[in-house]
Structure 1
Amino acid sequence: MTTNPHVLPAADLIDAVMRRAAADPAVDAAAVLDDAGLLTRPDPFATPGRRRPGPSPAAVASLVECRKAKAAADLAEPEVAEMPGEPAVTAAYGEVRFVVRPRSLDDWRRWTQALGVHDAQGRAIGGALVARFTYRGVRARLVGEGVPALLGKALNDSPRRPR
């Protein structure tokens, strides 16, 4: 037999529900058990002599950064909705991410100017250019899909200097 003290009271409640005429006795039994607080799992830290550990300072700081990033992304979405390149704005890991598909280098310049990505380092990763910067006090990155190809085309199309 189990040592769980809730087994006998639960059995009594189930027996009482099964004795009355009900449309769905299983659901009624579950509802009665829930009302009696017998469906909740016991907290392992609630036993006498054990304390629930508090969140670490790093976890609290991370949560604050994630909330700031989410708030910044929510504010940015309507601001950039009319920008070129099908913008997608998300927040993850305490960072705001702008993913765009510019059709020209002028579109890319509009993005960098609108977001204040003037002196940020850009890095080509696969078929995208990624620029890291700060947006509304939060870490951010602007991902320009296809920008390396646009830059390559512009370099190839530029007139060559005589030697």
Structure 2
Amino acid sequence: MVIPRPIAWISSISRDGTGNIAPHSFFNAVSCHPPIVMFASTHRAEDSGRPSKDTLNNVLATQEFVVNLVSRDLVDAMMATARDLPAQDDEFEVAGLRKEACLRVGAPRIAQSRAALECRLIKAERMGDATVVYGDVVYAHLDPSIMRDGAIAPDLVDPVARLGGSLYATLGEVFSRRRE
């Protein structure tokens, strides 16, 4: 059991310009220098007619994606984007979210999200029932409201994590320990 899991709220765009957003809780940082993140997109049953999810299809087609932060105030919108919708449905519209143009990639970011990472695809690799997607972070958007003394303040971010099933969590107590 791996809990809590951070949530990558991935925004992407199809070749025809349809916006897509989906939460992925198999997500993490891989490297600081250079900054690289990963998320895993699980596959549907082969007989579903659409075995790959729209996010993965878009990322493979455009080679770009954006990781948006899910804070507590955005959980309902995130849940609206977690549904399995037809590929032609724009999840920005479905969830009532505003698109914000990115600076380095063509995919839009979620305007209401207080942090976003613009990413370019490094590689995607099928592993078990998922495809692991690695992205080079080419730009980071950080709202000043989550900063304190020049650094991201976790208590101001109010991030949401997935515990499994329908269970989610926020940070709760934040404490500090120094290495000896």
TM-score range, shorter chain: under 0.3
Question: Which of the pair is proportionally richer in strand?
Answer: 2
Q: Of the two structures, which has the highest relative contact order with CA contacts closer than 8 Å and spacing of 6 or more? A: 2
Structure with the larger helix share: 1
TM-score, scaled to structure 1: 0.25
- Calculate the TM-score normalised by the size of structure 2: 0.23
Instruction: Mark the structure with the bigger radius of gyration.
Output: 1
